[in-house]
């Protein structure tokens, strides 16, 4: 078979040389994604509102030898988003390959969710566009509510959505601890269990890699089949 645009087999499964920004990376799905990208060779900057949690995560990643840095930032704040992108631009010499925003399930009010999940994604994408454009192979990843949008900005743009179903995270587990809720969710999930954050991050990393270069316009559910019965209990 002839070689595809993905390059050699060794390189198409690697993120070596790429830079990534993952917001909300100190725990849950965000933490798993930081680890997955770093394991594949990417240099990652992440942020969190909780400085103690962030510092603890950074220590763990340093011990593992990952190239991960972090800063305290609240993506719900416009000023914080601007400062975050300015920091990343300086750190990564004006170029960025991967932008990924994540937020676990919360019980906070609707206005906060819209500001954090929707407006922050739109604004961060605007701010990061010059950095992504400056890279030869740029991937932008944003989350709106529970959807992750992946864009490959090279010669063309490809967009895929990853829709996580019931996943174990620090915030999600607050709900799953209630036996009636946990059992109801499991009963609606064909695989018969709640998913792990690593089962989402592995797909995110794949979509970020050259190996996924011919995948575009797809909505991929990581939910154990939960969506088949509809998003209800």
Identify the band that residue 147 occupies on the pLDDT scale cut at 50, 70 and 90.
very low
Query: How far, CA to CA in Å, does 231 sit from each of 102, 168, 216, 223?
Result: 20, 17, 24, 10
- Helix or strand or coil: residue 196? strand
Task: Measure the CA–CA gap between 141 and 21, rounded to whole angstroms.
Answer: 9
Identify the band that residue 143 occupies on the pLDDT scale cut at 50, 70 and 90.
very low
Task: Measure the CA–CA gap between 36 and 54, rounded to whole angstroms.
Answer: 17
Mean pLDDT, residues 91-110 taken together: 71
Residue 2 CB burial class (10 angstroms; 0-12, 13-18, ≥19): exposed
Identify the band that residue 61 occupies on the pLDDT scale cut at 50, 70 and 90.
very high
Lowest mean pLDDT among 61-65, 126-130, 149-153, 189-193: 149-153
- Output 50 or 169, whichever has higher pLDDT: 50
Are the beta carbons of 160 and 142 closer than 8 angstroms? no
């Amino acid at each position: 078979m002839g070689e595809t645009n993905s390059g050699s087999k060794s390189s198409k499964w690697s993120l070596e040389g790429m830079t990534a920004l993952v917001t909300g990376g100190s725990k849950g799905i965000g933490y798993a994604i930081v680890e997955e990208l770093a394991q594949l060779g990417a240099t990652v900057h992440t942020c969190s509102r909780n400085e103690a949690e962030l510092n603890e995560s950074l220590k763990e990643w340093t011990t593992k030898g990952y190239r991960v840095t972090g800063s305290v930032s609240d993506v719900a704040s416009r000023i914080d988003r601007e400062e975050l992108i300015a920091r990343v631009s300086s750190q990564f010499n004006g170029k960025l390959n991967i932008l990924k925003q994540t937020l676990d399930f919360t019980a906070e009010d609707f206005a906060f969710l819209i500001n954090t999940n929707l407006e922050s994604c739109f604004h961060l994408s605007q701010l990061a566009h010059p950095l992504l454009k400056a890279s030869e192979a740029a991937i932008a990843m944003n989350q709106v509510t529970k959807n992750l949008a992946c864009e490959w900005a090279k010669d063309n743009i490809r967009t895929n959505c990853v829709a996580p179903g019931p996943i174990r995270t620090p915030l999600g587990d607050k709900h799953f601890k209630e036996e009636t809720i946990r059992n109801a969710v499991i009963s609606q999930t064909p695989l018969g269990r709640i998913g792990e954050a690593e089962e989402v991050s592995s797909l995110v990393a794949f979509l970020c890699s050259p190996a996924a270069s011919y995948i575009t316009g797809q909505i991929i559910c990581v939910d154990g089949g939960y969506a088949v019965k509809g998003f209800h209990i």
